[in-house]
C-alpha cells in the first residue's frame, strides 16, 4: 500500500465528512455552538452596554441605539442576551459535568460488578428517574436556593440517572463480549479490562448523551429561572428575561420576549445538531458501513 | 504436561418463579461431565465432537475462563483450579487461547498492534515501550502480516477475517505460552484461508515447541495437526487414542460415524456412511445408560441401563459396552 501524505488523508477525511448530510449537520451545529461560546467568553467586549444598568428609557422598541430594544427597567436587551449566554452555558456545562462525573463511573462499576450492588443502585437511579425532570429540579433548587452551583447541582441530579442507565446497560452487554474474555485470558486486571476494553466501547454513547443533555440542561435552567428559582435577578439570564419579557407583551413590547427565546432555541438546536452528527462521526463502525 | 482429572461443569438451568414455588428441583446442563485426559509436551490433542458436546466448554475450563464445578487440572504439576485470582492472572502467560470468531475476539476500539502489545504490558515482558513495540512488529512479521508497520496502526474492522485471525494468533503467542487452546480456530474462515492458517499454526507449533489443544468439529482438519484425539459426546469422552489408529480403525460406534462423515476427496472411492439417526439428545435430560444408545446402531440392552466407563482396548481408551 502506498503511503499517504497527511494533507491527502485530511482531504479525504473532509470530503468524507461533507459527502453526507451528517457532516453539514455537525458543521452547522458546531458553528452555532462556537458562536455562543464566543459570545459567552467575550461578552464584556461584545456587549454594547452594561447588562444590569439602566441605559435608556423603559421598553424602548428596537432602534439604532438599542438594536434589540430595552426592557422594563431600561436595560439593553442585546447586552442581556449576550451576557445570558455566559450563565446558560456555564450552568449547562457544570451540570452535565457533575451528572456525567457521577453517573458514568457508577454505571461502569455497577454494570461490571453486577449482583446485589448493581440491583440496589439501579433501583435508586430508577427512583430518581421516575420523577418528572423539571419538577425534581424545582424541588432541589428550592431547597438549595439560588446560585450558579446550586442550580447546576439540581439539574445534575436530574440527569445523573440517564448516564447511569446508558452506561450500565452497555457495560452489562459489552462485558460478555469475546474480546473481554480474551483480555481476561491474557491476564488483564479488572480495572484494565474496564478502562481499556469496556470503556472505549461505551464511550460513543456517552458523547451523544452528553451533548444532548447540554441542550436539555440549558432548557431546564431556563425553565428554573423562568419560574424564579434560578440566578438572583440582576444577573442576566435568558429564562428570567423570558418571564420578565412576557409580562410586557400586552404592552406590545415583544422584543423582551422574542430575543431571549430565540437565543434558547438556537443554542439548543445547535447542541442537538452537533450531537446528532457527532454520534455518527465518533463511531467508526457506523461510518465504515456507509 | 497437562493432566485433566474428572473435570465437570454443570450449568444450572434457570427456574421460573412458579417452579421455585412448586419446589421443582434445580436442573443442570451437564456440559462437561467428568472427563479425564492427559496431553504430553509437544503433543497436539484434538478434541472433536458435534456442536453441544462440550468441547468449547472444556477448552474454557482448562484456562479457567469459567470455573469448573468439580475436577482438577494439572499444568506441569500445578493445580490450576487451586490458584488464587492473582496467581492465576500471572500464570496465564503459560496458557493462551485462540478464539473461533476473530471479529468478536478483538476490541473494535483498539489498534491491533496495541491489542498484541497489551499482553506484554500485563506480564511486563520487554523493558520499554519501544522494545515491546519491536517484539510486536516481529510477531506480526512472523504471522505473515508484513510490512508490520502497515498493520500495527489499523483497527480490526479495517483488515480481513484471515488477517484478524493472524492477529489473534499473534496476541496469544507473543507471550510465549507453553500450552495453547485453539477453539475452532479456523472454522469461521474462508476455505482458501483455512489451509494457510492451519499451516501457520503447524509452523508456529514447531517453532515455539507448543502443546496444543485443538478443538474442532471437523475431523478432516485434525488429520493435519493432531497426534492424539479425544472424541466427545454429550459432555463425555467416548474414545481417546493416537490419531492414526482412531482414524484408520475407529472402534466406538460414534467415532465410526464421525469418521465416515469426513468427505472423501476421491469420488470413485465409495465410502459407507454411518450417519447416526436423530439428533443429539437434550443435555438437560440425557438418556440413561450410555448417552449414545438411542442413536447407536449396535445398541444392546445393557447400553440402556449401565453407563460404560472408559477402558483400555488395543492401546486406547473407549467407553463402550461392545468391547
Helices (H), chain B: 17-21, 55-62, 85-91, 112-122, 129-142, 148-152, 161-173, 191-208, 219-225, 243-248, 253-260
Q: What is the mean pLDDT of residues A133-156?
A: 85
Q: What is the pTM of this model?
A: 0.78
Listed by start position, the domains of chain A span 6-41+87-289
- Grid look-up 431546564 returns A220
Q: Which fold has domain A6-41+87-289?
A: MetI-like fold (1.10.3720)
Pick from A181, A189, A203: which is nearest to B65 by CB?
A: A181
CB-based contact (8 Å) between A114 and chain B? no
Chain A hits for B104, Cβ within 8 Å: 177-179
- pLDDT, greater one: B215 or A64: B215
Read off the CATH number of the domain in which B140 is found: 3.40.50.300
pLDDT at A51 over 80: no
Q: What is the mean pLDDT of residues A151-170?
A: 89
Sign of CA dihedral B153, B157, B163, B169: positive
Which residues span the domain enclosing B192? 2-318
First-to-last CA distance in chain A? 23
CB-based contact (8 Å) between A185 and chain B? yes
Report percent pLDDT > 70 for chain A.
Answer: 90
Per-residue pLDDT, B319: 85
CB-based contact (8 Å) between A116 and chain B? no
CB-based contact (8 Å) between B160 and chain A? no
Q: Per-residue pLDDT tens for B183-241? A: 888 877 888 888 888 888 888 888 888 888 889 888 878 888 888 888 888 888 888 88
Per-residue pLDDT, A69: 73
Min Cα–Cα distance to chain B from A182, Å: 6
Per-residue pLDDT, A13: 67
Residue B215 forms part of a structural domain: yes
Segment A55-64 long-range contacts (CB within 8 Å, at least 24 positions apart): A59/A248, A59/A251, A59/A253, A59/A256, A61/A253, A61/A255, A62/A255
Chain B hits for A2, Cβ within 8 Å: none
Rounded distance between C-alpha atoms, residue B205 and residue A170, angstroms: 38
Segment A136-139 long-range contacts (CB within 8 Å, at least 24 positions apart): A137/A220, A137/A223, A137/A224, A138/A224, A138/A227, A138/A229
Q: Per-residue pLDDT tens for B26-61? A: 888 888 888 888 888 888 898 888 887 888 888 888
* Phi-psi region at B49: left, alpha or beta (left = phi > 0; alpha = psi -120 to 50): left
Chain B hits for A201, Cβ within 8 Å: 107-109
pLDDT band at A282 (very low <50, low <70, confident <90, very high): low
**Does B99 sit within 8 Å of A186, measured CB to CB?**
no
pLDDT at A285 over 70: no
Q: What is the mean pLDDT of residues B252-268?
A: 79
Number of helices (H), then strands (E), belonging to chain A: the values are 13, 0
Per-residue pLDDT, A58: 72
Rounded distance between C-alpha atoms, residue B136 and residue B71, angstroms: 37
List of residues 6+ apart from A88 with CB closer than 8 A: A40, A218, A221, A222, A237, A238, A263, A264, A267
Bridge-based pairing state of the strands B78-79 and B70-75: antiparallel
Q: Which residue of B has its CA nearest to A197?
A: B107
Note whether B173 and B125 are within 8 A (CB): no
Best probe of the A interface among B107, B148, B168, B169, by most A CBs < 10 A, is B107
CB-based contact (8 Å) between A182 and chain B? yes
Length of chain B: 323
Q: Which residue of A has its CA nearest to B64?
A: A185
Q: What angle do CA B213, B216, B219 make, to 5 degrees?
A: 110
pLDDT band at B271 (very low <50, low <70, confident <90, very high): low
CB-based contact (8 Å) between B63 and chain A? yes
Q: Which residue of B has its CA nearest to A199?
A: B109
Per-residue pLDDT, A98: 92
Residue B60 forms part of a structural domain: yes
The mean pLDDT of chain B is: 85
Per-residue pLDDT, A290: 39
Residue A22: alpha-carbon gap to chain centroid: 20
Report percent pLDDT > 70 for chain B.
Answer: 98
pLDDT at A1 over 80: no
Per-residue pLDDT, A120: 92
Q: What is the mean pLDDT of residues B81-104?
A: 87
Residue B121 forms part of a structural domain: yes
> Could you give the ipTM of this predicted complex?
0.83
List of residues 6+ apart from B289 with CB closer than 8 A: B302, B303, B304, B305, B306, B307
pLDDT at A21 over 80: no
Q: Give the three-state DSSP class for B18.
A: helix
The tally of domains found in chain B comes to: 1
Decide: residue A148, CB within 10 A, 0-12 exposed, 13-18 middle, 19+ buried. Answer: middle
CB interface of B with A, residues 121-140, below 8 Å = 122-123
Residue A237: alpha-carbon gap to chain centroid: 16
CB-based contact (8 Å) between A177 and chain B? yes
List of residues 6+ apart from A2 with CB closer than 8 A: none
Pick from A179, A285, A288: which is nearest to B105 by CB?
A: A179
Across B142-177, b (16+ Cβ under 10 Å) vs e yields bbebeebeebbeebbeebeebbbbbbbbbbbbbbeb
Amino acid at each position: 500500500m502506498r503511503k499517504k501524505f497527511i494533507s491527502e488523508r485530511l482531504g479525504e477525511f473532509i470530503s468524507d465528512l461533507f459527502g453526507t448530510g451528517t457532516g453539514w449537520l455537525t458543521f452547522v451545529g458546531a458553528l452555532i455552538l462556537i458562536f455562543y461560546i464566543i459570545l459567552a467568553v467575550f461578552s464584556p467586549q461584545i456587549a454594547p452596554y452594561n447588562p444590569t444598568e439602566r441605559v435608556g428609557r423603559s421598553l424602548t422598541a428596537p432602534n439604532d441605539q438599542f438594536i434589540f430594544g430595552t426592557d422594563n427597567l431600561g436595560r439593553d436587551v442585546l447586552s442581556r442576551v449576550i451576557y445570558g449566554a455566559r450563565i446558560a452555558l456555564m450552568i449547562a456545562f457544570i451540570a452535565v459535568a457533575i451528572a456525567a462525573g457521577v453517573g458514568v463511573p457508577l454505571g461502569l462499576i455497577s454494570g461490571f460488578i453486577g449482583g446485589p450492588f448493581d440491583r440496589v443502585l439501579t433501583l435508586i437511579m430508577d427512583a430518581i428517574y421516575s420523577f418528572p425532570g423539571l419538577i425534581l429540579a424545582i424541588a432541589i433548587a428550592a431547597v438549595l436556593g439560588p446560585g450558579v452551583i446550586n442550580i447546576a447541582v439540581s439539574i445534575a441530579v436530574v440527569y445523573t440517572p440517564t448516564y447511569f442507565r446508558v452506561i450500565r446497560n452497555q457495560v452489562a452487554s459489552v462485558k460478555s463480549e469475546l474480546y473481554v474474555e480474551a483480555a481476561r485470558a491474557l491476564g488483564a486486571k479488572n480495572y484494565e479490562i474496564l478502562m481499556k476494553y469496556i470503556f472505549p466501547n461505551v464511550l460513543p454513547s456517552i458523547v451523544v448523551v452528553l451533548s444532548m443533555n447540554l441542550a436539555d440542561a440549558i432548557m431546564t435552567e431556563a425553565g428554573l429561572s423562568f419560574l424564579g428559582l434560578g440566578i438572583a435577578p440582576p444577573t442576566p439570564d435568558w429564562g428570567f428575561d423570558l418571564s420578565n419579557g412576557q409580562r410586557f407583551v400586552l404592552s406590545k413590547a415583544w422584543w423582551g420576549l422574542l430575543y431571549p427565546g430565540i437565543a434558547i432555541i438556537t443554542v439548543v438546536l445547535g447542541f442537538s445538531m452537533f450531537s446528532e452528527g457527532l454520534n455518527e462521526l465518533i463511531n467508526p463502525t457506523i461510518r465504515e458501513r456507509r | 504436561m497437562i493432566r485433566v482429572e474428572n473435570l465437570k461443569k454443570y450449568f444450572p438451568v434457570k427456574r421460573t418463579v412458579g417452579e421455585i414455588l412448586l419446589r421443582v428441583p434445580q436442573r443442570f446442563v451437564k456440559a462437561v461431565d467428568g472427563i479425564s485426559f492427559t496431553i504430553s509436551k509437544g503433543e497436539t490433542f484434538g478434541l472433536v465432537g458435534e456442536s453441544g458436546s462440550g468441547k468449547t466448554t472444556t477448552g474454557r475450563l482448562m484456562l479457567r475462563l469459567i470455573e469448573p464445578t468439580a475436577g482438577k487440572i494439572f499444568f506441569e504439576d500445578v493445580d490450576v483450579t487451586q490458584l488464587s485470582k492473582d496467581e492465576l492472572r500471572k500464570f496465564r502467560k503459560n496458557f493462551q487461547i485462540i478464539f473461533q470468531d476473530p471479529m468478536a475476539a478483538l476490541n473494535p476500539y483498539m489498534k491491533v498492534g496495541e491489542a498484541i502489545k497489551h499482553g506484554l504490558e500485563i506480564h511486563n515482558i520487554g523493558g520499554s515501550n519501544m522494545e515491546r513495540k519491536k517484539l510486536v512488529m516481529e510477531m506480526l512479521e512472523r504471522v505473515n502480516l508484513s510490512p508490520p508497520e502497515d498493520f500495527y496502526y489499523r483497527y480490526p474492522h479495517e483488515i480481513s477475517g484471515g488477517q484478524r485471525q493472524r492477529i489473534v494468533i499473534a496476541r496469544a503467542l507473543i507471550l510465549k505460552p507453553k500450552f495453547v487452546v485453539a477453539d475452532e480456530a479456523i472454522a469461521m474462515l474462508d476455505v482458501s484461508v483455512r489451509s494457510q492458517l492451519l499451516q501457520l499454526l503447524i509452523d508456529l507449533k514447531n517453532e515455539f515447541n507448543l502443546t496444543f489443544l485443538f478443538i474442532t468439529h471437523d475431523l478432516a482438519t485434525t488429520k493435519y495437526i493432531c497426534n492424539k484425539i479425544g472424541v466427545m459426546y454429550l459432555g463425555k469422552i467416548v474414545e481417546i487414542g493416537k490419531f492414526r489408529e482412531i482414524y484408520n480403525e475407529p472402534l466406538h460406534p460414534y467415532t465410526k460415524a464421525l469418521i465416515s462423515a469426513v468427505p472423501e476427496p476421491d469420488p470413485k472411492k465409495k465410502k459407507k456412511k454411518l450417519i447416526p439417526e436423530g439428533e443429539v439428545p437434550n443435555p438437560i435430560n440425557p438418556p440413561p445408560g450410555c448417552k449414545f444408545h438411542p442413536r447407536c446402531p449396535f445398541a444392546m440392552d445393557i447400553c440402556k441401563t449401565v453407563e460404560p466407563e472408559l477402558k483400555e482396548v488395543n492401546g486406547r481408551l473407549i467407553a463402550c459396552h461392545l468391547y
